[in-house]
Structure 1
Amino acid sequence: MTDSVVELQTVERHVLQIKMQDRVSKNTFSEALTRGLIETFAEVGARSDCKVVILTGYDNYFASGGTQEALLSLSAGHGAFTDRDLYSLALRCPVPVISAMQGHGIGGGFVLGLFSDIVILSRESIYTANFMRYGFTPGMGATCVLPQKLGFGLATEMMLSANNYRGEELQQRGISFPVLPRDQVMIRALELAQVLAEKPRLSLVTLKEHLNASLRDALPGMVEKEVAMHAITFPQPEVKARIEELFRH
Protein backbone atom coordinates (compact mmCIF):
# COMPACT_ATOMS: atom_id res chain seq x y z
CA MET A 1 0.00 0.00 0.00
CA THR A 2 3.00 2.29 -0.39
CA ASP A 3 1.33 4.35 -3.15
CA SER A 4 -1.90 4.80 -1.25
CA VAL A 5 -3.08 7.77 0.79
CA VAL A 6 -2.97 5.26 3.65
CA GLU A 7 0.39 3.54 3.94
CA LEU A 8 0.89 0.37 5.98
CA GLN A 9 4.41 -0.71 6.86
CA THR A 10 6.29 -2.74 9.42
CA VAL A 11 8.49 -0.40 11.48
CA GLU A 12 9.69 -2.83 14.16
CA ARG A 13 9.19 -6.51 14.87
CA HIS A 14 5.47 -7.01 15.59
CA VAL A 15 4.84 -3.26 15.15
CA LEU A 16 2.88 -1.88 12.18
CA GLN A 17 2.49 1.77 11.26
CA ILE A 18 -0.54 3.23 9.52
CA LYS A 19 0.33 6.56 7.95
CA MET A 20 -2.40 8.88 6.69
CA GLN A 21 -1.02 10.95 3.83
CA ASP A 22 -3.78 12.37 1.66
CA ARG A 23 -1.86 15.49 0.72
CA VAL A 24 -4.54 16.68 -1.69
CA SER A 25 -7.21 16.85 1.02
CA LYS A 26 -4.79 17.56 3.90
CA ASN A 27 -6.05 14.39 5.61
CA THR A 28 -9.69 15.36 5.66
CA PHE A 29 -11.93 12.30 5.47
CA SER A 30 -11.89 12.02 1.69
CA GLU A 31 -13.29 8.90 0.08
CA ALA A 32 -9.76 7.65 -0.53
CA LEU A 33 -8.63 8.22 3.05
CA THR A 34 -11.81 6.77 4.55
CA ARG A 35 -11.74 3.66 2.41
CA GLY A 36 -8.01 3.24 2.97
CA LEU A 37 -8.30 3.42 6.75
CA ILE A 38 -11.18 0.94 6.89
CA GLU A 39 -9.38 -1.54 4.63
CA THR A 40 -6.04 -1.14 6.40
CA PHE A 41 -7.43 -1.62 9.90
CA ALA A 42 -9.24 -4.74 8.64
CA GLU A 43 -5.93 -6.08 7.33
CA VAL A 44 -4.14 -5.26 10.58
CA GLY A 45 -6.82 -6.98 12.65
CA ALA A 46 -6.37 -10.17 10.65
CA ARG A 47 -2.59 -10.32 11.05
CA SER A 48 -1.49 -12.62 13.84
CA ASP A 49 2.07 -11.25 13.68
CA CYS A 50 0.95 -7.76 14.71
CA LYS A 51 1.02 -6.79 18.40
CA VAL A 52 0.93 -2.98 18.20
CA VAL A 53 -0.23 -0.37 15.67
CA ILE A 54 1.02 3.21 15.39
CA LEU A 55 -1.42 5.58 13.69
CA THR A 56 0.08 8.82 12.40
CA GLY A 57 -0.22 11.51 9.74
CA TYR A 58 2.21 13.44 7.56
CA ASP A 59 4.10 16.72 8.06
CA ASN A 60 1.87 19.11 10.08
CA TYR A 61 -1.34 17.11 9.67
CA PHE A 62 -2.66 14.20 11.69
CA ALA A 63 -6.29 14.16 10.54
CA SER A 64 -8.58 17.03 9.59
CA GLY A 65 -12.16 15.76 9.89
CA GLY A 66 -15.01 15.88 7.40
CA THR A 67 -14.77 17.22 3.87
CA GLN A 68 -16.91 20.13 2.75
CA GLU A 69 -18.86 17.81 0.47
CA ALA A 70 -19.62 15.37 3.28
CA LEU A 71 -20.71 18.11 5.68
CA LEU A 72 -22.96 19.74 3.07
CA SER A 73 -24.47 16.34 2.33
CA LEU A 74 -25.27 15.83 6.01
CA SER A 75 -26.75 19.33 6.22
CA ALA A 76 -29.03 18.41 3.31
CA GLY A 77 -30.28 15.38 5.21
CA HIS A 78 -28.41 12.76 3.21
CA GLY A 79 -27.07 9.93 5.37
CA ALA A 80 -25.29 10.05 8.73
CA PHE A 81 -21.73 9.74 9.98
CA THR A 82 -22.64 6.24 11.15
CA ASP A 83 -23.02 5.05 7.55
CA ARG A 84 -19.34 4.09 7.74
CA ASP A 85 -17.79 3.42 11.11
CA LEU A 86 -14.57 5.35 10.67
CA TYR A 87 -14.37 6.92 14.11
CA SER A 88 -13.97 3.77 16.23
CA LEU A 89 -11.48 1.88 14.05
CA ALA A 90 -8.75 2.17 16.67
CA LEU A 91 -11.12 1.14 19.47
CA ARG A 92 -12.26 -1.96 17.56
CA CYS A 93 -8.74 -2.96 16.50
CA PRO A 94 -7.89 -6.06 18.57
CA VAL A 95 -4.33 -4.97 19.39
CA PRO A 96 -3.28 -1.72 21.10
CA VAL A 97 -3.18 1.38 18.91
CA ILE A 98 -0.85 4.32 19.58
CA SER A 99 -1.92 7.61 18.01
CA ALA A 100 1.24 9.55 17.22
CA MET A 101 -0.58 12.83 16.61
CA GLN A 102 2.44 14.72 15.27
CA GLY A 103 0.23 17.23 13.47
CA HIS A 104 -3.08 19.02 13.71
CA GLY A 105 -6.10 17.00 14.86
CA ILE A 106 -9.24 18.77 13.69
CA GLY A 107 -12.82 17.83 14.59
CA GLY A 108 -13.44 14.23 13.68
CA GLY A 109 -9.71 13.83 13.05
CA PHE A 110 -8.99 14.65 16.68
CA VAL A 111 -11.72 12.23 17.77
CA LEU A 112 -10.25 9.50 15.55
CA GLY A 113 -6.96 9.78 17.42
CA LEU A 114 -8.57 9.82 20.87
CA PHE A 115 -10.12 6.40 20.29
CA SER A 116 -6.60 4.93 20.38
CA ASP A 117 -5.26 3.25 23.49
CA ILE A 118 -2.27 5.57 23.87
CA VAL A 119 -2.23 9.15 22.57
CA ILE A 120 0.81 11.37 22.02
CA LEU A 121 0.37 15.02 21.04
CA SER A 122 2.77 17.62 19.70
CA ARG A 123 3.32 20.95 21.43
CA GLU A 124 3.08 22.96 18.23
CA SER A 125 -0.04 21.39 16.73
CA ILE A 126 -3.67 22.48 16.99
CA TYR A 127 -6.29 20.16 18.44
CA THR A 128 -9.94 21.07 18.32
CA ALA A 129 -13.46 19.67 18.59
CA ASN A 130 -14.65 22.32 16.16
CA PHE A 131 -18.08 20.92 15.23
CA MET A 132 -20.00 23.84 16.78
CA ARG A 133 -17.94 26.33 14.75
CA TYR A 134 -20.04 25.14 11.82
CA GLY A 135 -23.18 25.31 13.94
CA PHE A 136 -23.91 21.59 14.30
CA THR A 137 -23.47 19.43 17.38
CA PRO A 138 -20.51 17.03 17.76
CA GLY A 139 -20.52 13.61 16.16
CA MET A 140 -18.09 10.74 15.53
CA GLY A 141 -18.51 9.63 19.16
CA ALA A 142 -16.95 12.87 20.40
CA THR A 143 -19.45 13.32 23.23
CA CYS A 144 -18.44 9.90 24.53
CA VAL A 145 -14.67 9.78 24.07
CA LEU A 146 -13.70 13.38 24.87
CA PRO A 147 -15.01 13.35 28.46
CA GLN A 148 -13.46 9.93 29.08
CA LYS A 149 -10.06 10.87 27.72
CA LEU A 150 -9.79 14.60 28.59
CA GLY A 151 -12.05 14.97 31.62
CA PHE A 152 -15.57 16.40 31.67
CA GLY A 153 -14.64 20.04 32.21
CA LEU A 154 -12.09 20.42 29.43
CA ALA A 155 -14.11 18.26 27.03
CA THR A 156 -17.24 20.34 27.61
CA GLU A 157 -15.31 23.56 27.04
CA MET A 158 -13.74 22.23 23.85
CA MET A 159 -17.06 21.08 22.40
CA LEU A 160 -19.12 24.13 23.35
CA SER A 161 -16.51 26.74 22.38
CA ALA A 162 -15.09 24.92 19.32
CA ASN A 163 -11.85 26.77 20.07
CA ASN A 164 -8.39 25.74 18.90
CA TYR A 165 -5.91 24.49 21.49
CA ARG A 166 -2.19 24.04 20.98
CA GLY A 167 -0.77 20.85 22.41
CA GLU A 168 1.30 22.94 24.78
CA GLU A 169 -1.86 24.57 26.16
CA LEU A 170 -3.56 21.21 26.67
CA GLN A 171 -0.47 20.06 28.54
CA GLN A 172 -0.78 23.09 30.82
CA ARG A 173 -4.44 22.22 31.34
CA GLY A 174 -3.38 18.89 32.80
CA ILE A 175 -4.21 16.31 30.15
CA SER A 176 -2.77 12.89 30.86
CA PHE A 177 -1.15 12.34 27.45
CA PRO A 178 2.51 12.94 26.62
CA VAL A 179 2.93 16.26 24.77
CA LEU A 180 6.26 16.56 22.99
CA PRO A 181 7.97 18.63 20.30
CA ARG A 182 6.70 17.44 16.92
CA ASP A 183 9.97 15.81 15.95
CA GLN A 184 9.92 13.67 19.10
CA VAL A 185 6.36 12.33 18.82
CA MET A 186 7.20 9.36 16.59
CA ILE A 187 10.33 8.60 18.60
CA ARG A 188 8.22 8.24 21.75
CA ALA A 189 5.59 6.21 19.89
CA LEU A 190 8.21 3.75 18.69
CA GLU A 191 9.69 3.45 22.16
CA LEU A 192 6.29 2.65 23.65
CA ALA A 193 5.46 0.27 20.82
CA GLN A 194 8.65 -1.69 21.41
CA VAL A 195 7.80 -2.06 25.10
CA LEU A 196 4.31 -3.33 24.25
CA ALA A 197 5.60 -5.68 21.55
CA GLU A 198 7.64 -7.56 24.16
CA LYS A 199 4.38 -8.88 25.67
CA PRO A 200 2.39 -11.90 24.45
CA ARG A 201 -0.16 -10.89 21.83
CA LEU A 202 -3.01 -12.73 23.53
CA SER A 203 -2.32 -10.88 26.78
CA LEU A 204 -2.31 -7.52 24.98
CA VAL A 205 -5.58 -8.32 23.23
CA THR A 206 -7.20 -9.53 26.44
CA LEU A 207 -6.15 -6.50 28.48
CA LYS A 208 -7.18 -4.03 25.76
CA GLU A 209 -10.62 -5.63 25.65
CA HIS A 210 -10.97 -5.22 29.42
CA LEU A 211 -9.64 -1.65 29.63
CA ASN A 212 -11.95 -0.42 26.89
CA ALA A 213 -15.10 -2.15 28.14
CA SER A 214 -16.75 0.97 29.60
CA LEU A 215 -16.03 3.10 26.51
CA ARG A 216 -17.14 0.36 24.15
CA ASP A 217 -20.37 -0.24 26.09
CA ALA A 218 -21.25 3.46 26.33
CA LEU A 219 -20.45 4.35 22.71
CA PRO A 220 -23.50 2.99 20.82
CA GLY A 221 -25.99 4.87 22.99
CA MET A 222 -24.02 8.12 22.80
CA VAL A 223 -23.64 7.81 19.03
CA GLU A 224 -27.39 7.26 18.69
CA LYS A 225 -27.95 10.51 20.61
CA GLU A 226 -25.40 12.33 18.45
CA VAL A 227 -27.27 11.24 15.32
CA ALA A 228 -30.52 12.50 16.88
CA MET A 229 -28.90 15.86 17.64
CA HIS A 230 -27.64 16.05 14.06
CA ALA A 231 -31.19 15.61 12.81
CA ILE A 232 -32.07 18.75 14.77
CA THR A 233 -29.00 20.91 14.20
CA PHE A 234 -27.74 20.09 10.68
CA PRO A 235 -30.83 21.26 8.70
CA GLN A 236 -30.48 24.86 9.92
CA PRO A 237 -29.79 27.20 6.96
CA GLU A 238 -27.11 28.86 9.09
CA VAL A 239 -25.18 25.59 9.20
CA LYS A 240 -24.95 25.30 5.43
CA ALA A 241 -23.86 28.94 5.22
CA ARG A 242 -21.20 28.43 7.89
CA ILE A 243 -19.82 25.33 6.15
CA GLU A 244 -19.53 27.17 2.85
CA GLU A 245 -17.97 30.22 4.46
CA LEU A 246 -15.44 28.44 6.65
CA PHE A 247 -14.20 26.20 3.83
CA ARG A 248 -13.44 29.32 1.77
CA HIS A 249 -10.75 30.27 4.29
Structure 2
Amino acid sequence: MSDVVTVEEAADGVALIVMADRAHKNTFTDDLVSGLGDAFRQVGSDERFRAAVLTGYGSYFCSGGTREALLDIQAGRATFVRDEGRPNVFALPLDCPVPVVSAMQGHAIGGGLAMGLFADFVILARESVYTANFMKYGFTPGFGSTLVFPAKLGPALGHELLLTARTFRGAELAARGVPFPVHPRGDVLPTALELARGLAEKPRRSLVTLKDRLVLGLRERLPRAIEEELAMHEITFHQPEVRELLMSRYGE
Protein backbone atom coordinates (compact mmCIF):
# COMPACT_ATOMS: atom_id res chain seq x y z
CA MET A 1 0.00 0.00 0.00
CA SER A 2 0.92 3.69 -0.25
CA ASP A 3 2.93 5.42 2.46
CA VAL A 4 0.08 7.92 2.87
CA VAL A 5 -2.96 5.62 2.59
CA THR A 6 -3.35 2.42 4.58
CA VAL A 7 -5.96 -0.33 4.70
CA GLU A 8 -6.56 -2.64 7.63
CA GLU A 9 -9.33 -4.97 8.71
CA ALA A 10 -10.57 -3.03 11.73
CA ALA A 11 -13.22 -5.63 12.55
CA ASP A 12 -14.62 -8.74 10.91
CA GLY A 13 -15.55 -7.67 7.39
CA VAL A 14 -14.74 -3.97 7.97
CA ALA A 15 -11.98 -2.22 6.01
CA LEU A 16 -10.53 0.92 7.57
CA ILE A 17 -8.96 3.24 4.97
CA VAL A 18 -6.81 5.94 6.55
CA MET A 19 -5.46 8.98 4.68
CA ALA A 20 -2.38 10.36 6.43
CA ASP A 21 -0.33 12.57 4.10
CA ARG A 22 0.84 14.78 6.93
CA ALA A 23 3.30 16.70 4.78
CA HIS A 24 0.51 17.94 2.50
CA LYS A 25 -2.48 17.93 4.88
CA ASN A 26 -4.27 15.29 2.80
CA THR A 27 -4.52 17.34 -0.37
CA PHE A 28 -4.98 15.39 -3.60
CA THR A 29 -1.29 14.83 -4.29
CA ASP A 30 -0.35 12.09 -6.75
CA ASP A 31 0.61 9.87 -3.80
CA LEU A 32 -2.71 10.34 -2.04
CA VAL A 33 -4.76 9.84 -5.21
CA SER A 34 -2.80 6.73 -6.18
CA GLY A 35 -3.01 5.35 -2.65
CA LEU A 36 -6.76 5.87 -2.48
CA GLY A 37 -7.21 4.17 -5.85
CA ASP A 38 -5.24 1.15 -4.66
CA ALA A 39 -7.09 1.05 -1.34
CA PHE A 40 -10.55 1.08 -2.88
CA ARG A 41 -9.54 -1.51 -5.46
CA GLN A 42 -8.40 -3.77 -2.63
CA VAL A 43 -11.63 -3.29 -0.72
CA GLY A 44 -13.76 -3.82 -3.80
CA SER A 45 -12.02 -7.03 -4.85
CA ASP A 46 -11.52 -8.65 -1.44
CA GLU A 47 -14.55 -10.78 -0.62
CA ARG A 48 -13.76 -10.53 3.09
CA PHE A 49 -14.83 -6.90 3.18
CA ARG A 50 -18.51 -6.07 3.55
CA ALA A 51 -18.18 -2.42 4.58
CA ALA A 52 -15.50 0.28 4.60
CA VAL A 53 -14.71 3.32 6.71
CA LEU A 54 -12.77 6.22 5.17
CA THR A 55 -11.06 8.66 7.52
CA GLY A 56 -8.12 11.06 7.82
CA TYR A 57 -5.64 11.91 10.55
CA GLY A 58 -5.73 14.41 13.41
CA SER A 59 -7.67 17.50 12.38
CA TYR A 60 -7.62 16.74 8.64
CA PHE A 61 -9.98 14.58 6.62
CA CYS A 62 -9.15 15.75 3.08
CA SER A 63 -8.14 19.20 1.84
CA GLY A 64 -8.99 18.82 -1.86
CA GLY A 65 -6.87 19.92 -4.81
CA THR A 66 -3.29 21.11 -4.46
CA ARG A 67 -2.50 24.65 -5.52
CA GLU A 68 -0.18 23.29 -8.23
CA ALA A 69 -2.98 21.17 -9.70
CA LEU A 70 -5.43 24.07 -9.59
CA LEU A 71 -2.90 26.36 -11.29
CA ASP A 72 -2.45 23.73 -14.00
CA ILE A 73 -6.20 23.75 -14.60
CA GLN A 74 -6.22 27.55 -14.64
CA ALA A 75 -3.46 27.54 -17.26
CA GLY A 76 -5.31 24.99 -19.39
CA ARG A 77 -2.78 22.20 -18.84
CA ALA A 78 -5.17 19.87 -16.97
CA THR A 79 -8.69 19.28 -15.72
CA PHE A 80 -9.99 17.79 -12.47
CA VAL A 81 -10.93 14.62 -14.37
CA ARG A 82 -8.36 11.81 -14.35
CA ASP A 83 -6.92 10.31 -17.49
CA GLU A 84 -9.12 7.71 -19.16
CA GLY A 85 -8.88 4.37 -17.39
CA ARG A 86 -7.92 5.94 -14.04
CA PRO A 87 -10.62 6.46 -11.40
CA ASN A 88 -11.73 9.93 -10.33
CA VAL A 89 -10.67 10.06 -6.71
CA PHE A 90 -13.72 11.99 -5.53
CA ALA A 91 -16.07 9.24 -6.79
CA LEU A 92 -14.24 6.30 -5.21
CA PRO A 93 -16.69 5.96 -2.29
CA LEU A 94 -19.62 6.05 -4.73
CA ASP A 95 -18.04 3.48 -7.05
CA CYS A 96 -16.99 1.13 -4.23
CA PRO A 97 -19.24 -1.96 -4.37
CA VAL A 98 -19.66 -2.22 -0.59
CA PRO A 99 -21.13 0.53 1.63
CA VAL A 100 -18.68 3.24 2.67
CA VAL A 101 -18.82 5.37 5.82
CA SER A 102 -17.03 8.73 5.66
CA ALA A 103 -15.68 9.39 9.15
CA MET A 104 -14.90 13.07 8.55
CA GLN A 105 -13.20 13.65 11.86
CA GLY A 106 -11.18 16.53 10.42
CA HIS A 107 -11.44 19.43 8.03
CA ALA A 108 -12.93 18.61 4.61
CA ILE A 109 -12.35 21.20 1.92
CA GLY A 110 -13.52 21.52 -1.69
CA GLY A 111 -13.03 18.24 -3.53
CA GLY A 112 -12.21 16.56 -0.22
CA LEU A 113 -15.67 17.37 1.10
CA ALA A 114 -17.23 16.22 -2.18
CA MET A 115 -15.43 12.88 -1.86
CA GLY A 116 -16.70 12.47 1.69
CA LEU A 117 -20.26 13.24 0.65
CA PHE A 118 -20.13 10.58 -2.09
CA ALA A 119 -20.01 7.93 0.65
CA ASP A 120 -23.13 6.05 1.70
CA PHE A 121 -22.94 7.34 5.28
CA VAL A 122 -21.40 10.57 6.55
CA ILE A 123 -20.33 11.48 10.08
CA LEU A 124 -19.05 14.97 10.89
CA ALA A 125 -17.08 16.50 13.76
CA ARG A 126 -18.39 19.47 15.70
CA GLU A 127 -14.99 21.19 15.76
CA SER A 128 -13.97 20.62 12.14
CA VAL A 129 -14.31 22.91 9.13
CA TYR A 130 -16.39 21.98 6.07
CA THR A 131 -16.37 24.19 3.00
CA ALA A 132 -16.96 24.19 -0.74
CA ASN A 133 -14.32 26.86 -1.31
CA PHE A 134 -14.21 26.85 -5.13
CA MET A 135 -15.82 30.28 -5.57
CA LYS A 136 -13.40 31.72 -3.01
CA TYR A 137 -10.87 31.52 -5.84
CA GLY A 138 -13.29 32.71 -8.49
CA PHE A 139 -13.99 29.46 -10.37
CA THR A 140 -17.10 27.32 -10.41
CA PRO A 141 -17.17 24.02 -8.50
CA GLY A 142 -15.84 20.71 -9.79
CA PHE A 143 -15.32 17.17 -8.47
CA GLY A 144 -19.02 16.39 -8.89
CA SER A 145 -19.89 18.99 -6.26
CA THR A 146 -22.79 20.50 -8.19
CA LEU A 147 -24.46 17.09 -8.02
CA VAL A 148 -23.55 15.74 -4.61
CA PHE A 149 -23.92 18.86 -2.44
CA PRO A 150 -27.63 19.45 -3.22
CA ALA A 151 -28.29 15.70 -3.29
CA LYS A 152 -26.84 15.04 0.15
CA LEU A 153 -27.30 18.36 1.96
CA GLY A 154 -30.57 19.47 0.36
CA PRO A 155 -30.90 22.19 -2.29
CA ALA A 156 -30.99 25.17 0.10
CA LEU A 157 -27.88 24.34 2.13
CA GLY A 158 -26.07 22.71 -0.79
CA HIS A 159 -26.52 25.76 -3.00
CA GLU A 160 -25.51 28.08 -0.16
CA LEU A 161 -22.22 26.27 0.35
CA LEU A 162 -21.46 26.24 -3.37
CA LEU A 163 -22.39 29.87 -4.09
CA THR A 164 -21.01 31.58 -1.00
CA ALA A 165 -17.89 29.41 -0.40
CA ARG A 166 -18.57 29.93 3.32
CA THR A 167 -16.75 27.91 5.91
CA PHE A 168 -18.93 26.03 8.41
CA ARG A 169 -17.97 24.24 11.58
CA GLY A 170 -19.69 20.91 12.11
CA ALA A 171 -21.59 22.40 15.03
CA GLU A 172 -22.99 25.12 12.73
CA LEU A 173 -24.10 22.53 10.21
CA ALA A 174 -25.81 20.57 12.99
CA ALA A 175 -27.70 23.73 13.95
CA ARG A 176 -28.71 24.13 10.29
CA GLY A 177 -30.25 20.65 10.32
CA VAL A 178 -27.62 18.83 8.26
CA PRO A 179 -28.93 15.26 7.75
CA PHE A 180 -25.84 13.55 9.21
CA PRO A 181 -24.66 12.75 12.73
CA VAL A 182 -22.32 15.41 14.15
CA HIS A 183 -20.15 14.34 17.11
CA PRO A 184 -17.12 15.57 19.01
CA ARG A 185 -14.04 14.74 16.94
CA GLY A 186 -12.90 11.92 19.20
CA ASP A 187 -16.23 10.12 18.78
CA VAL A 188 -16.42 10.26 14.97
CA LEU A 189 -14.26 7.24 14.10
CA PRO A 190 -15.63 4.96 16.87
CA THR A 191 -19.17 5.82 15.76
CA ALA A 192 -18.28 5.07 12.13
CA LEU A 193 -16.69 1.74 13.02
CA GLU A 194 -19.73 0.74 15.08
CA LEU A 195 -21.97 1.53 12.11
CA ALA A 196 -19.69 -0.42 9.75
CA ARG A 197 -19.66 -3.44 12.07
CA GLY A 198 -23.45 -3.50 11.94
CA LEU A 199 -23.37 -3.35 8.14
CA ALA A 200 -20.79 -6.13 8.00
CA GLU A 201 -23.17 -8.52 9.74
CA LYS A 202 -25.07 -8.75 6.43
CA PRO A 203 -24.03 -10.90 3.45
CA ARG A 204 -21.73 -9.08 1.03
CA ARG A 205 -23.83 -10.00 -2.01
CA SER A 206 -26.93 -8.50 -0.44
CA LEU A 207 -25.10 -5.32 0.54
CA VAL A 208 -23.62 -4.89 -2.93
CA THR A 209 -26.98 -5.51 -4.60
CA LEU A 210 -28.83 -3.02 -2.42
CA LYS A 211 -26.11 -0.35 -2.69
CA ASP A 212 -26.19 -0.68 -6.49
CA ARG A 213 -29.89 0.13 -6.40
CA LEU A 214 -29.69 2.95 -3.86
CA VAL A 215 -26.87 4.85 -5.62
CA LEU A 216 -28.06 4.17 -9.17
CA GLY A 217 -29.33 7.72 -9.62
CA LEU A 218 -26.09 9.35 -8.48
CA ARG A 219 -23.96 7.02 -10.58
CA GLU A 220 -26.07 7.69 -13.68
CA ARG A 221 -26.14 11.47 -13.19
CA LEU A 222 -22.46 11.96 -12.32
CA PRO A 223 -21.00 11.81 -15.88
CA ARG A 224 -23.41 14.53 -17.05
CA ALA A 225 -22.63 16.64 -13.98
CA ILE A 226 -18.90 16.34 -14.69
CA GLU A 227 -19.43 17.41 -18.31
CA GLU A 228 -21.38 20.45 -17.16
CA GLU A 229 -18.75 21.35 -14.56
CA LEU A 230 -15.98 21.11 -17.16
CA ALA A 231 -17.98 23.37 -19.48
CA MET A 232 -18.35 25.94 -16.70
CA HIS A 233 -14.60 25.70 -16.02
CA GLU A 234 -13.93 26.68 -19.62
CA ILE A 235 -15.81 29.90 -18.88
CA THR A 236 -14.63 30.61 -15.32
CA PHE A 237 -11.29 28.94 -14.58
CA HIS A 238 -9.03 30.69 -17.07
CA GLN A 239 -9.73 34.23 -15.87
CA PRO A 240 -6.56 36.03 -14.71
CA GLU A 241 -8.28 36.85 -11.41
CA VAL A 242 -8.42 33.13 -10.63
CA ARG A 243 -4.63 32.78 -10.79
CA GLU A 244 -4.25 35.87 -8.61
CA LEU A 245 -6.67 34.49 -6.02
CA LEU A 246 -5.01 31.07 -6.00
CA MET A 247 -1.64 32.71 -5.43
CA SER A 248 -2.88 35.04 -2.68
CA ARG A 249 -5.61 33.08 -0.87
CA TYR A 250 -4.80 29.37 -1.20
CA GLY A 251 -4.25 27.78 2.20
CA GLU A 252 -5.86 30.55 4.23
| TM-score in same-fold range (> 0.5) | yes
Name 1:170's counterpart in structure 2: 173
Q: Which amino acid aligns with 1:20?
A: M
Q: Paired residue for 1:116?
A: 119
Amino acid at match of 2:105: Q
Residues 24-65 of structure 1 show CA distances to partners (whole Å, capped at 9, x for unaligned) of 000011111011111111111110110000000000000000
Task: Give the alignment partner of residue 141 of structure 1, picking from 135, 140, 144.
Answer: 144
What's the counterpart of residue 74 of structure 1? 73
Query: Which residue of 1 is the match for residue 226 of structure 2?
Result: 223
CA distance in 1, matches of 2:28, 2:82: 13
Identity of aligned residues (%): 53
Aligned to 1:233: 236
Within the alignment, does 1:88 sit opposite 2:87 as a pair?
no
Q: Which runs of 4+ in 1 moved over 4 A?
A: none
Q: Distance in 2 between matches of 1:248 and 1:188?
A: 30
Correspondence 1:48 to 2:47: yes
Unaligned runs of 5+ in 1: none
Verify: 1:186 aligned to 2:185, yes or no.
no
Q: Deviations over 1:101-135 (max 9, x none)?
A: 00000000000100000000000000000000010
Residue number among 245, 248, 252 corresponding to 1:245 in the alignment: 248
Distance 1:198 1:36 in 2: 27
What letter corresponds to residue 124 of structure 1 in structure 2?
E
Match of 1:37 in 2: 36
Q: Deviations over 1:75-116 (max 9, x none)?
A: 000121112511100000000000000000000000010000
Give the whole-Å Cα distance in 2 for the aligned partners of 1:165 and 1:248. Answer: 16
Q: SS in structure 2 opposite 1:65?
A: coil
1:98: which partner in 2? Answer: 101
Equivalent-residue separation in structure 2 for 1:30 and 1:107 (angstroms): 14
Question: What code does the residue aligned with 1:75 have?
Answer: Q
Out of 120, 128, 132, the residue aligned to residue 129 of structure 1 is 132
CA distance in 1, matches of 2:30, 2:55: 18
Q: 2: distance between equivalents of 1:9 and 1:134? A: 37
Deviates more, 1:60-69 or 1:3-12: 3-12
Q: Distance in 1 between matches of 2:115 and 2:47?
A: 24
Q: Which amino acid aligns with 2:78?
A: G
Residue 194 of structure 1: CA displacement?
0.9
Report the AA paired with residue 125 of structure 1: S
Partner in structure 1 of residue 215 of structure 2: 212
How far is 1:143 from its partner? 0.3
Helix, strand or coil: the match of 1:59? coil
| Cα distance in 1 between the residues matched to 2:56 and 2:215 | 24
Deviation at 1:248, TM superposition (A): 6.3
User: How far does residue 187 in structure 1 lie from its aligned partner after superposition?
Assistant: 1.1
Cα distance per residue 1:187-242 (max 9 Å; x no partner): 11111011101101111001100110111111111110000001111110000000
Cα offset, 1:4, TM superposition? 1.1
TM-score (normalised: structure 1): 0.98
Count of residues paired in the alignment:
248
Does residue 12 in structure 1 map to residue 8 in structure 2?
no
In structure 1, what is the Cα distance between the partners aligned to 2:251 and 2:188?
31
Q: Normalising by the residue count of structure 2, what TM-score does the alignment of the two structures yield?
A: 0.97
Distance 2:249 2:38 in 1: 31
How many angstroms does 1:247 deviate by?
2.7
Q: For residue 51 of structure 2, what is the amino acid of its counterpart?
A: V
CA distance in structure 2 between the partners assigned to 1:42 and 1:196 by the alignment: 19
